[in-house]
Amino acid sequence: MNSEERLIYMANQIATNLATDAAPVAAVADHIQTFWDPRMKRMIFAHGTDGLSPVAAAAIRLLADAQNGG
């Protein structure tokens, strides 16, 4: 796995484990915001949602929008 593949893997793994949360998308977004360093976040935003599960993809979109929208 290279770094980008690993980030995709991690995001999906987080999404799978938080799938039973009451609000999974927000929970995944919050987890990534809390624990990932800025470069990891930038890398996955740049990568887009390819290969991400629906929940992970929605969470990344949410975070990226928050980042851009301010």
Partner 1 sequence: MTYQPQKDFGTPESRSDEAVSLTIDGREVTVPAGTSVMRAAAEQGTSIPKLCATDSVKSYGSCRLCLVEIDGRRGTPASCTTPVEPGMVVRTQTPQLAKLRKGVMELYISDHPLDCLTCAANGDCELQDQAGAVGLRDVRYDVQATHLGQEKDHSNPYFDFDPSKCIACSRCIRACDEVQGTLALTMEGRGWDSKISAGFASDNFMGSECVSCGACVQACPTATLVEKKVVEVGTPERSVVTTCAYCGVGCTFRAEMRGEQLVRMVPYKDGKANRGHSCVKGRFAWGYAQHQERILKPMIRKSISDPWREVEWDEAFAYTASELKRISAKYGRNALGGITSSRCTNEETFLVQKLVRAGFGNNNVDTCARVCHSPTGYGLKTTFGTSAGTQDFDSVEDSDVILIIGANPTDGHPVFASRMKRRLRGQDGRPGAKLIVIDPRRTDIVRSPHIEAQHHLPLRPGTNVAVLTAMAHVIVTEGLADEAFIRERCDWDEYSHWAEFVSQARNSPENLQPVTLVDAEELRAAARLYATGGNGAIYYGLGVTEHSQGSSTVMAIANLAMATGNIGRSGVGVNPLRGQNNVQGACDMGSFPHELAGYRHISDKGARALFEKDWGVTLDPEPGLRIPNMLDAAVDGVFKALYCQGEDILQSDPNTAHVSAGLAAMECVIVHDLFLNETANYAHIFLPGSTFLEKNGTFTNAERRIQPVRKVMTPMNGLEDWEVTQRLAQAMGLNWNYSHPSEIMDEIARLTPTFAGVSFARLDEMGSLQWPVTADAPDGSPIMHIDGFVRGKGKFVVTDYVPTDEKTGPRFPLLLTTGRILSQYNVGAQTRRTENVAWHPEDLLEIHPVDAEDRGVKSGDWVKLASRAGETTLRANVTDRVAPGVVYTTFHHAVTQANVVTTDYSDWATNCPEYKVTAVQISASNGPTEWQEEYEALSARARRVETGIAAE
| Residue 29 near partner 1 by CB under 8 A | no
DSSP single-letter state for residue 23: S
Which of 26, 36, 22, 21 has the alpha carbon at shortest distance from 56? 26
| Residue 20 near partner 1 by CB under 8 A | yes
| Residue 62 near partner 1 by CB under 8 A | no
| Residue 66 near partner 1 by CB under 8 A | no
CA dist 20 and 37 (Å) reads 25
Binding site residues, partner 1, CB under 8 A:
1-3, 6, 10, 13-14, 16-17, 19-22, 31, 34-40
